[in-house]
Chains A and B, each alone.
Chain A
């Protein structure tokens, strides 16, 4: 600790604190352009100059640490005139086209000049111009370099946080321009973080271009809906049209970062194709109806036998809605048949919850990143949870730690990893087993037969996982030498549940060898964790308590519907027809359903089969809470009213319930949250009053809003047999599925900006495979399995595992679930030039 005097005020701060941070701590504002917490300081803008007594020259406070006994003055006339002079220099070549500039009204340069600046310019020379016209740097970025203040924040955020590394500085001095490599059109992550950090109107968002002024916008501080990272953001509208979404500096776990989906994907909310009125099927055609009619038809068709009723709720509904949904089924309909996912086996979900210790309460991603070794396995985290990827990259770059990535596909985060393991798709379990065996090899060493058995097993699982023994050994060594380990386990464990047992085993093994272990599930749906914790699961009630009666999961429900054993199916927000991993089975079942109620915001493939379609509200049109993958329960806020006659989902579920039981409630989300709080131990501390703000030391209270442990639980982990996939020389590629960076489920396909970035499906294979097939990036190829074939565009990835092809689950022109077969492992495909 050192003691310094700032403007005569004595304060004590930690060693190596920057003068800037110390001054802000003491309550003095120092203006900056280039300084941003979380980014490496470069001290280039010179706005933060301060006077240090005893030093002749002013010093940049954002790169100068405090020393004991320093006397610093931040508000002397010298400092003030330095600030004004810096601004005068910046304005010498600044375009000063504020009335045209999209940043006008929220521009840091404007604010600074207003506050500190010279209110009169002395530079009469003609201004230097980079370009006459703005140019598009990518499909979402438009650039005007004439306004640049050379703070290099865009370059640093791109390199240090996003890891895309596509921006740099061209030229020197005041002719320095931050742009792509010789202003090439960018094919990057398109996440727009460079736009967000830009203090002036140099990087601007193209979809927002000349739409409005910031002061016209009405905003709501909410949580992103496109993955389970739980990023805090503000969505803004003007005249009923969603204009933009932006992150806020120093707020939420994401601070000022978002991904392409979060920043540009929310325009789907105000599309004209939204469902606006209830539809009822009459004479084979869906026709508009009133709520009264629709609810009456539903009431007439609900069978009295609860076992003949089934419900599937989307993991994008809020906790309150999901809670009410399961309450409607369990208490009103007397049915246990509810599920929250069209994709995953409920037993696998239960085993995963147990293996990931989700019942023990929330685990902060920041706490995980404090560990000595972090393993990311079973998730294409750079694509599925981009902001988690940013957090991992930023923190791992700043401290000594091991980052291990195990995945069949290459990903952006590889460059931050100390060890990357490319295993065969679906063999994460075998990989973990080999790590366990290698970790334990010392225990069985010298035991003769046991040692032979163990090494034999190790060799066989290592080859099954398709990895080399050295990588496994290296990982085992890393685990041995670290006192704390975090495992980030992704959704591939749910796709291939045979690996879950090994995940649990590794966790227990590490725990028993005295290490601190935390497991963070990496999920791809905004409220997937909340759905499970609210009890939308056939065998688990709220807070993972075992339900009195075990019901059917999605898979079994569809089977029962086909057989005629289930009459009434209520699907809230889930697109079963296009997400269930076998399209044929799903559509056959939905087509045979005696009565199908679909509640959604758009006319989905599933809704086309429905007998009654109920128009729900999008995430910006309702209030409630989302629980992210860490177990952080955060509030989403309403910005607009749902279009037409559409209603918030909570009201719809309640209205259906009230038809059967007039006292069915609670009436609104606050009361529902109260009921959840009183009945669900995990949520007893959840409050809407959390702020998630970084404190003055630039740290997030990582425990804030995390759910509690459920106490003693009786979760069961079933053993799963590996599903066979027919391997043959004809089909050399193993098909991997998952989310694309620009798309999450089907919802983002309705976003104009995101479908502008990528609308048609792409298949990704490794560069070596492409070379051996004589194909290159951008070629049209035919992907063919024994059941289905589609023509898509080829993308090649450097460093992916060979003989693997990745197809995203999201695209309409290539429904991946046509390749998949119920009861079979990952399909094998061939790739040929189309």
Chain B
């Protein structure tokens, strides 16, 4: 008896396309709801939290002196030996001490972004930035030199992060770049 009742119900559902309508409701629901897809990189970009560990930066004091004293503790602490430091003497006031880095380079392909270098740094010169766009067309850009790392980063440390910022995707002969507008951000919808 009960078996018959179940079979009839099944038949009615099939005739009326109940499952199909149910599925379509979800689909149509999403169709009208707000999108959670990031329009990255053309329109917007995820700016991570401060705790994010991206590409290294070398920092300066407020007066513009290099904080790095080329003590090589970062390269010693590095588990993958991807940091090379060669110190030199320069007492012209380039750095906070007369010992500065002649070479400070990091091989980003070997790096596992553990942040030990940041921890080891006695002057807080090495900090891992929030830059994570490493794609490139040849291997030369995987080794970052001191000169590049000293340049100010797009997302300053003062910026809180954890937001999606308006961005612009720039193509040029020198490569591609995503420019963010940190004044125009929104929370990540979750």
Quick one: given A213-B72, A215-B76, are A100 and B99 in contact (CB under 8 Å)? yes
A100, A133, A211, A212: the one contacting B69 at CB < 8 Å is: A100
Max count, chain B CB within 10 A of own CB: residue among A104, A210, A216: A210
B64 cross-chain contacts in A, Cβ below 8 A: none
Asked if B111 is at the interface of the complex by the 8 Å CB criterion, the answer is no
Q: Which of B67-82 contact A (CB under 8 A)?
A: 69-73, 76
Asked if A99 is at the interface of the complex by the 8 Å CB criterion, the answer is yes
B69 cross-chain contacts in A, Cβ below 8 A: 99-100
Residue in chain B with minimal CB distance to A99: B71
Q: Is the interface of A mostly helix, strand, loop or mixed?
A: loop
A100 cross-chain contacts in B, Cβ below 8 A: 69, 71, 97-99
Query: Interface range on chain B: under 10, 10 to 19, 20 to 34, or 35 or more?
Result: 10 to 19
Asked if A97 is at the interface of the complex by the 8 Å CB criterion, the answer is yes
Q: Could you tell me the distance in whole angstroms from the C-beta of A404 to the nearest C-beta in chain B?
A: 48
A99 cross-chain contacts in B, Cβ below 8 A: 69, 71, 73, 97, 99, 122-123
Whether A212 lies near B123 (C-beta < 8 A) is no
Asked if A209 is at the interface of the complex by the 8 Å CB criterion, the answer is yes
Q: Is the interface of B mostly helix, strand, loop or mixed?
A: loop
Asked if B88 is at the interface of the complex by the 8 Å CB criterion, the answer is yes
B73 cross-chain contacts in A, Cβ below 8 A: 99
Quick one: given A99-B69, A99-B122, A100-B99, are A213 and B88 in contact (CB under 8 Å)? no
Asked if B89 is at the interface of the complex by the 8 Å CB criterion, the answer is yes
A133 CA to B99 CA, complexed, in Å:
12
Q: Could you tell me the distance in whole angstroms from the C-beta of A99 to the nearest C-beta in chain B?
A: 3
B71, B97, B98, B122: the one contacting A213 at CB < 8 Å is: B71
B76 cross-chain contacts in A, Cβ below 8 A: 213, 215
B91 cross-chain contacts in A, Cβ below 8 A: 133
A99 CA to B69 CA, complexed, in Å:
7
Q: Tally chain A residues at the interface, Cβ within 8 Å.
A: 14
A211 cross-chain contacts in B, Cβ below 8 A: 87
A496 CA to B181 CA, complexed, in Å:
88
Residue in chain B with minimal CB distance to A134: B98
Whether A97 lies near B97 (C-beta < 8 A) is yes
| 1/0 contact string of A232-246 vs chain B (CB within 8 Å) | 000000000000000
Q: Could you tell me the distance in whole angstroms from the C-beta of B58 to the nearest C-beta in chain A?
A: 14
Q: Which of A87-135 contact B (CB under 8 A)?
A: 97-100, 104, 133-134
| 1/0 contact string of B110-154 vs chain A (CB within 8 Å) | 000000000000110000000000000000000000000000000
Whether B99 lies near A212 (C-beta < 8 A) is no
Q: Which of A206-237 contact B (CB under 8 A)?
A: 209-213, 215-216
Quick one: given A99-B123, A100-B99, are A210 and B89 in contact (CB under 8 Å)? yes
Asked if B86 is at the interface of the complex by the 8 Å CB criterion, the answer is yes
Q: Which of B145-187 contact A (CB under 8 A)?
A: none
Whether A210 lies near B72 (C-beta < 8 A) is no
A97, A98, A210: the one contacting B87 at CB < 8 Å is: A210
Residue in chain A with minimal CB distance to B121: A99
**Sample of 15 further A-B pairs with CB below 8 A, known A98-B71, A99-B123, A210-B87:** A98-B122, A99-B97, A100-B71, A100-B98, A100-B99, A104-B71, A210-B88, A210-B89, A210-B98, A211-B87, A212-B72, A212-B87, A213-B71, A213-B87, A215-B72
A residues with CB within 8 A of B: 97-100, 104, 133-134, 209-213, 215-216
The 4 nearest A-B residue pairs measured at CB: A99-B71, A100-B97, A213-B72, A210-B89
Residue pairs across A and B with Cβ atoms less than 8 A apart, 25 shown, are A99-B71, A99-B73, A99-B97, A99-B99, A99-B122, A99-B123, A100-B71, A100-B98, A100-B99, A104-B71, A134-B98, A210-B70, A210-B87, A210-B88, A210-B89, A210-B98, A210-B99, A212-B72, A212-B86, A212-B87, A213-B72, A213-B76, A213-B87, A215-B76, A216-B72
